[in-house]
Amino acid sequence: MTDAVQIASRLTQVREAIAEAARRAGREPDSIRLIAVSKLQPVACAAAALAAGQLDLGENYAQELRDKAAALPGMGARWHMIGALQRNKVKYVVGVAEWVHTLDSLGLAEEINRRALAQGIRQRCLVQVNVGAETQKNGCAASELAGLIEQVAVLPGIDLQGLMCIPPAEEPEATRPFFRRLVELAVQERARSGLALAELSMGMSADFTVAIEEGSTMVRVGTAIFGARV
Ligand SMILES: *Cc1c(COP(=O)(O)O)cnc(C)c1O
């Protein structure tokens, strides 16, 4: 099989697994957006996914996102920034990525806001929450989430759409409590802030079916589509 054929066939398998998990959970398969994570894969792989109708693509590194977006114009791609974002890299991402999943501090939010306003846009963002309270992980602490949302909600260049998490690496079933925790936080914050916060970005290759059962609306799947990263 050529790479392109293999990517198309894996995409079909992943979409079927998403639909099955949705049905098990009594959810509409269409309520879950698949993000194909093309980080560290050649541009040709992202192009193959686009050609197979997979328009949502995720990248972890700001310059790589910018470069791939520039290399694949006019194919309808919707880019998602899913990696840790430093303030000095915000300029590569705002207005190029349709979504930034990894907003986790007021300083970062202010820089995104500033760059978005300069372009006359509102940048769609999710707040990343460190649900496992891991010291080495990015994401805002659960205890700081309410305060951060309150401060971000008033920034006119940011369109805050929901929450994102990367649970500690565990067996798929062991990630379930962390996904539940993110859902719980979303329910709390919707009630408190009055924002819709409809999007929950959670689930990767190993555990996206568990995440869907728990309410994920965006799954970020790399290896299961593109194979091991080079
Ligand atoms: C790399 C990455 C993914 C995809 O991981 P796979 O295990 O390859 O599916 C998803 N989310 C984030 C934040 C990542 O860094």
Q: Is the CB of 167 under 6 A from ligand 1?
A: no
Per-residue pLDDT band for 218 (boundaries 50, 70, 90) equals very high
Residue 137 is predicted with a pLDDT of 82
Residue 2 is predicted with a pLDDT of 73
Long-range contacts of 132-140 (CB under 8 A, 24+ apart): 132/167, 132/168, 132/178, 134/168, 137/166, 138/84, 138/102, 138/104, 139/102, 139/104, 139/164, 139/165, 139/166, 140/104, 140/105
Mean pLDDT, residues 187-210 taken together: 98
CA of 194 to the centre of ligand 1 (A): 30
Secondary structure of residue 220 in the 3-state scheme: strand
pTM exceeds 0.95: yes
Residue 1 is predicted with a pLDDT of 63
Tell whether the model's pLDDT for residue 230 goes beyond 90.
Answer: no
| Index of the ligand 1 atom closest to the CA of residue 39 | 1
Q: Is the CB of 205 under 6 A from ligand 1?
A: yes
Task: Quote the DSSP letter at residue 167.
Answer: P
Tell whether the model's pLDDT for residue 134 goes beyond 90.
Answer: no
Query: Percent of the chain scored above 90 by pLDDT?
Result: 95
Q: What is the pLDDT of residues 58-93, one digit of tens each?
A: 999 999 999 999 999 999 999 999 999 999 999 999
71, two tokens: 């290399």
Mean pLDDT, residues 104-115 taken together: 98
Residue 185 is predicted with a pLDDT of 98
107, two tokens: 């300083």
